[in-house]
C-alpha cells in the first residue's frame, strides 16, 4: 500500500496538487485504544490555483477543502477513491463553480488512473 500512496502522490504532484497531510487511520485509532487494523490512509490534497479560484467566488467551498483521497486495503486489493468535487459543489448551489469542480475532478481521476494502472 505504501507504494500506491507514493505513486498517487507523484501523479498528483504532476497535476499541481500537493499532499498537505496524511492520516494513517489504524495507527491513529490504535493510539486511542481502538482495534482498527485495516490498512487505510487519508490524504488531504490541494491544487492552490483551483482552491484560490473557487474560494474567491464562494467562501462556502471551504467546507469541502482540502480534497480527500483515500487509499485502503480491501482483501487482497489496494483501492483508491475520493469524493467527487462535482457532487460536493452541488450542495452549495453555485453553478458558476461547476467548471472548476469538473476540472479538479478530472485531474484527480487522471492521477489515480495513472497511479493504479486503471
* 23: DSSP letter: E
> pTM for this one?
0.91
Peptide bond before residue 66 is cis, with ω within 30 degrees of 0: yes
- Quick one: pLDDT band at residue 118, thresholds 50, 70, 90? confident
Range of the domain at 71: 2-116
**pLDDT for res 82:** 97
Buried b (16+ CB within 10 A) or exposed e, 1-27: eeebbebbbebbeeeebebeeeeebbe
**pLDDT for res 64:** 92
Q: How many domains does the chain have?
A: 1
pLDDT in tens, 5-38: 999 999 999 999 999 999 999 999 999 999 999 9
**Tell me, what CATH number does 87's domain have?**
3.30.310.70
Amino acid at each position: 500500500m505504501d507504494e500506491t500512496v507514493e505513486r498517487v502522490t507523484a501523479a498528483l504532484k504532476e497535476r499541481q496538487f500537493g499532499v498537505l497531510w496524511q492520516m494513517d487511520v489504524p495507527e491513529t485509532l490504535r493510539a486511542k485504544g481502538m482495534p482498527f487494523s485495516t490498512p487505510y490512509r487519508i490524504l488531504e490534497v490541494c491544487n492552490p490555483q483551483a482552491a484560490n479560484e473557487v474560494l474567491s467566488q464562494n467562501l462556502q467551498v471551504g467546507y469541502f477543502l482540502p480534497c480527500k483521497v483515500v487509499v485502503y486495503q480491501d482483501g487482497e486489493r489496494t483501492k483508491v477513491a475520493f469524493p467527487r468535487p462535482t457532487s460536493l459543489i452541488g450542495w452549495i448551489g453555485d453553478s458558476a463553480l461547476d467548471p472548476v469542480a469538473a476540472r479538479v475532478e478530472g485531474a484527480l481521476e487522471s492521477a489515480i488512473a495513472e497511479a493504479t494502472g486503471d
